[in-house]
Structure 1
């Protein structure tokens, strides 16, 4: 297979390079900028930002076991970042929602992540920043397909 002058092997190599670079950036953003919460707890807060959910729904979305999700949400309840309430239509269900403190934690962590990324961009040339701007559009397209 040939795509715009690249052989299949060259495409495989490019795919591998981009995948690894994206993973490294994602990991570094999560672990070097977040001292407040482990990444999996941040993810739970982000999932609750736009909707109330049950532990079961969160476990399905995050692809973890229900007991694992229960441990994460228990920690977040203890921190005051999420609240539990009985489901008005099904008393057996518990609905989880973000508290004002949880919203503030999300904002702080996102701000730290942005600051970490900005600190890396400050050392790049205009040409490199332009290349990243264009690559960002392409990567967004790849991710949405």
Structure 2
């Protein structure tokens, strides 16, 4: 049996699909952030995840997260107070402070990710094998869309 060629998608159908996918992704993102774990607010977790890659300054983090420098300083101060982040003077520029993830910070990132994965897996448990296979294929396409 041969596969049928794909039918062209009209512009209105593409617009509707774009809207549906965007809304579904936003809802999933919001729910996984707020319902899967209450240990860390989403903005704090995001900063910890950024520090997992490499130590950074408040300015670098503010640029990456697209927030103001004072807002980032408040966020990182809370994370330092919680023991998830450490501060050190920049050896090249004494005006800067280098922020690094501590071992408890690494454990917190792993714990939040595990809770988020568990939240998603609970939803996957209600899907059929065909739906799971479709999501598997769609995840690669969505990653491609997100990378552009």
Q: What's the TM-score, normalizing by structure 1?
A: 0.96
Q: CA RMSD in A?
A: 1.1
Supply the distance in 2 between the matched residues of 1:94 and 1:50 (Cα, whole angstroms): 17
User: 1:127 is matched with which residue?
Assistant: 130
User: 1:34 is matched with which residue?
Assistant: 37
- The CA deviation string for residues 63-122 of structure 1, in whole angstroms up to 9 with x for no partner, is 000110011001000100000000011111100000000000000000000000000001
Whether 2:17 is the aligned partner of 1:8: answer no
Alignment equivalent of 2:67, drawn from 41, 64, 67: 64
User: 2:3 is matched with which residue?
Assistant: none
Supply the distance in 1 between the matched residues of 2:7 and 2:55 (Cα, whole angstroms): 46
Supply the distance in 1 between the matched residues of 2:53 and 2:7 (Cα, whole angstroms): 41
Tell me, which stretches of 5 or more residues in structure 1 are unaligned?
A: none
Whether 2:51 is the aligned partner of 1:48: answer yes
Tell me, which stretches of 5 or more residues in structure 2 are unaligned?
A: 1-5
1:4: Cα distance to partner?
4.7
- The CA deviation string for residues 15-63 of structure 1, in whole angstroms up to 9 with x for no partner, is 0000000000000000001210100000000000011110011001000
Supply the distance in 2 between the matched residues of 1:66 and 1:115 (Cα, whole angstroms): 34
Supply the distance in 1 between the matched residues of 2:7 and 2:52 (Cα, whole angstroms): 42
